Structure 1
Amino acid sequence: MAGSPRWSRIIVAGLVTGAVMVAVNKGGDGDSPSSRPSVVPSRIDIPSLGVKAPLMRLGVKDGQIELPPLDEPDTAGWLKESAVPGDPGSAVILGHVDTKTDPAVFYKLKQMRAGQVIKVSRSDGKIAQYRVDSVEQVSKDRFPADKIYLEDGLRLITCGGNFDWDKHEYRDNVIVYATLVKT
C-alpha cells in the first residue's frame, strides 16, 4: 500500500464505497456511529501477530476512504462511519501492508487464522474482543462492500496480492472477518 495517491483505491472505487457508507448512515435515528464521538477505539492488539497499534479516526472524503498516513506505518485507522468496535454493526479498521521501504502494521494480516483473537481498546475503558471467522484475499475489482459494511462484526483490511508496477498499487485486498466474543 505504499507509494502514490492511487492508494485511495485500497477499498474499492470511491463511488461504491461512498454510496454504501451513505446508505448505512441514513436512518434518521441519531444513533449513527458518527453521532457518538464520545466513545472511539484507541488501540488494536492482535496477539498472534505481535501487533499492538494505536488507532486513528478515518473518514470518507470525496467518495474515497481516507487512509492512515504512510509516515505512520505502525498506526491503523478506524473508519468513523462504521460501528465502534464492541457495538452492534460493522466496525472497519484499515492499515497499510507496507511502505516503500518497510513492512507496516498489517504486514502479517494474511497469516491470521480462524479462531485467533483480536482485541480493540476503547476510550470508555472497555476492550472489545473478537474471534476471527475467516480471512480472504479478493481482487479490488470484486471488493465485497455489502459483506464489509452491512454485516455485523469487525473487518480488518489491507492491501495484498501482486503489486502492479504500472499502477503503483497492489491488485488485491486482504480482509479479516471477526465476530464479537465479549466487551
Structure 2
Amino acid sequence: MAAPTRWSRVITAGIVTGFVMVLLHRGAGVDVPEARDPVVPERVEIPSLGIKAPLMKLGVKDGEVELPPYDKPNAAGWVKDTAVPGDEGPAVILGHVDTKTDPAVFYRLKDIREGQVVKVRRSDGEVAQYRVDSVERVSKDRFPADKVYLQDGLRLITCGGDFDWDRHEYRDNVIVYATLVKPADPRT
C-alpha cells in the first residue's frame, strides 16, 4: 500500500469534515433555520386622514413603475424594488387620487401635514411608524427621482394639480416625505 500523499490527506479531511457537519445538523441539537417568506408591507394607515388601505406589490417594467389597478381604487401599492417600510432605505408607496367617477385611496393625501403619523403594517406582524417631514406638489416633468428613490424614508405618491384632458392624466404628483420614528414593533 502506497503512503498517503499530501492531496489525499486534504481530500480525506474534507470528506470527514463534511460527514461530521451532516451528522451535527441531523438531530444532534443544532437548529437549522427554516426558509421563510420575505417580509412585505400589507397595509398603510394614515389616522389623520382616515386611511386604512391594503397594499399590493408593484414592479417596474420597461423603466416605468406599475400602478395599482384602477378597478381597486381603495388599494395602494408598494414598489417592491424599494425598501420594506421599517427597514433601512427608501420605501415607496403609490395610490390613485381618483377614478373616472369617484375619489380613490389617496384622494386626501394633499391634506396631510408635517408631523402627522403614517403607519405601515407588515407581514411579520410588525408596524413601522413614520412622521411626515414635508409634502410637495411637483410637475411630472420634473419628478425628483433621486430624492424619492435614493434617500432614506417613506414616500407616498399620488397624482395632483390640474388634469390634462389631452393626455388623460394629472400634470403633477403629490409626494409625502416621512422619516421612520418607530421601527417595526409587533406591540404597536
TM over 0.5, yes or no? yes
TM-score by length of 1: 0.80
Equivalence for 1:51: 51
Deviations 1:33-79 (A, max 9, x none): xxx96100000000000000000000001111101000000000000
Deviations 1:125-160 (A, max 9, x none): 110000000000000011000000000000000000
Q: Which runs of 5+ in 1 are unaligned?
A: 1-35
1:82 deviates by: 0.3
User: Between the two proteins, what is the percent identity of the paired residues?
Assistant: 78
Kindly tell me the number of residue pairs found equivalent between the two proteins: 148
- The structure whose Rg is larger is 2
Secondary structure at the counterpart of residue 55 of structure 1: strand
Matched, 1:127 2:127: yes
Distance (whole Å) between structure 1 residues aligned to residue 165 and residue 145 of structure 2: 25
C-alpha RMSD of matched pairs (Å): 1.0
Q: Residue type of the partner of 1:90?
A: P
Secondary structure at the counterpart of residue 86 of structure 1: coil
Distance (whole Å) between structure 2 residues aligned to residue 48 and residue 37 of structure 1: 32
Matched, 1:165 2:165: yes
Deviations 1:105-128 (A, max 9, x none): 000000010000000000011100
Matched, 1:92 2:84: no
Distance (whole Å) between structure 1 residues aligned to residue 181 and residue 146 of structure 2: 22
Secondary structure at the counterpart of residue 147 of structure 2: helix
Secondary structure at the counterpart of residue 129 of structure 1: strand
Q: Residue type of the partner of 1:144?
A: P
Distance (whole Å) between structure 2 residues aligned to residue 173 and residue 152 of structure 1: 19
Secondary structure at the counterpart of residue 56 of structure 1: strand
Choose between structure 1 and 2 for higher RCO, CA contacts under 8 A separated by at least 6 residues.
1
Equivalence for 1:39: 39
Secondary structure at the counterpart of residue 42 of structure 1: strand
TM-score by length of 2: 0.78
Distance (whole Å) between structure 2 residues aligned to residue 87 and residue 121 of structure 1: 12
Deviations 1:14-36 (A, max 9, x none): xxxxxxxxxxxxxxxxxxxxxx9
Distance (whole Å) between structure 1 residues aligned to residue 57 and residue 166 of structure 2: 31
Equivalence for 1:14: none
**Shift >3 Å, 4+ stretches:** none
Distance (whole Å) between structure 2 residues aligned to residue 167 and residue 145 of structure 1: 22
